[in-house]
């Protein structure tokens, strides 16, 4: 029984690490010629377009005013910036991005402008996005939330302890 529990706990631990190992072995954007070309295209284009804006601020109102004044002063540049920033954000940083954790787009930008361009792309890409909090404190209405937890201790010793739990909450 003890050996079965040890083998089962190790199998569960390995199974939980499989997605992490798979995610790290995926192809990089810079290894894909089409993706690399797109990263360079967006990096060069957005670096030039962001030059029309002041440095991106953590204050959303200042950023909105900067974008509004760009729209009034130079609407074609504003339209192009908004379109390209949203496309780049979706392609490289969005939830369904194929190369989401890859730095190819970032590395294609000049070092001195990199941070500002990334901040503007993130700001523009997240305009209109609402944040949803899955925590029970922020839920409204009647919802069911399930949590699964597991853990192991003393894996390298003769005896291994395993803990598994399944909880459900009605909030």
pLDDT at 21: 45
pLDDT at 23: 47
pLDDT at 36: 85
Cα gap 78→7, rounded to integer Å:
59
pLDDT at 83: 92
Cα gap 82→166, rounded to integer Å:
45
Using one digit for the tens of pLDDT, what is the confidence trace for 5-14? 555 555 556 5
Of residues 2, 9, 4, 1, the one with CA closest to residue 155: 9
pTM attached to this predicted model: 0.59
Collapse the DSSP code of 101 into the 3-class scheme (helix H, G, I; strand E, B; otherwise coil) and give the result: coil
pLDDT at 24: 45
Collapse the DSSP code of 167 into the 3-class scheme (helix H, G, I; strand E, B; otherwise coil) and give the result: strand
Q: Which residues of the chain have pLDDT under 50?
A: 20-25
pLDDT at 17: 57
pLDDT at 80: 93
Determine the angle formed by the axes of helices 75-88 and 33-50, rounding to 10 degrees.
Answer: 140
pLDDT at 130: 66
Cα gap 130→149, rounded to integer Å:
28
């Amino acid at each position: 029984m003890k050996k079965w529990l040890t083998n089962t706990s190790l199998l569960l631990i390995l199974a939980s690490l499989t997605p992490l190992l798979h995610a790290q072995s995926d192809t990089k954007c810079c290894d894909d010629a089409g993706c690399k070309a797109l990263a360079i295209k967006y990096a060069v284009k957005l670096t030039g377009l962001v030059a029309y804006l002041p440095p991106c601020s953590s204050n959303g109102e200042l950023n909105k005013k900067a974008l509004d004044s760009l729209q009034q002063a130079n609407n074609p540049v504003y339209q192009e910036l908004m379109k390209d920033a949203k496309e780049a954000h979706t392609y490289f940083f969005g939830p369904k991005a194929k190369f989401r954790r890859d730095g190819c787009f970032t590395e294609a930008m000049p070092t001195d402008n990199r941070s500002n361009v990334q901040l503007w792309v993130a700001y523009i890409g997240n305009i209109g996005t609402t944040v949803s909090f899955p925590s029970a404190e922020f839920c409204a209405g009647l919802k069911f939330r399930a949590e699964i937890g597991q853990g192991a201790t003393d894996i390298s010793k003769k005896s291994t302890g395993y803990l598994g739990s399944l909880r459900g909450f009605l909030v």
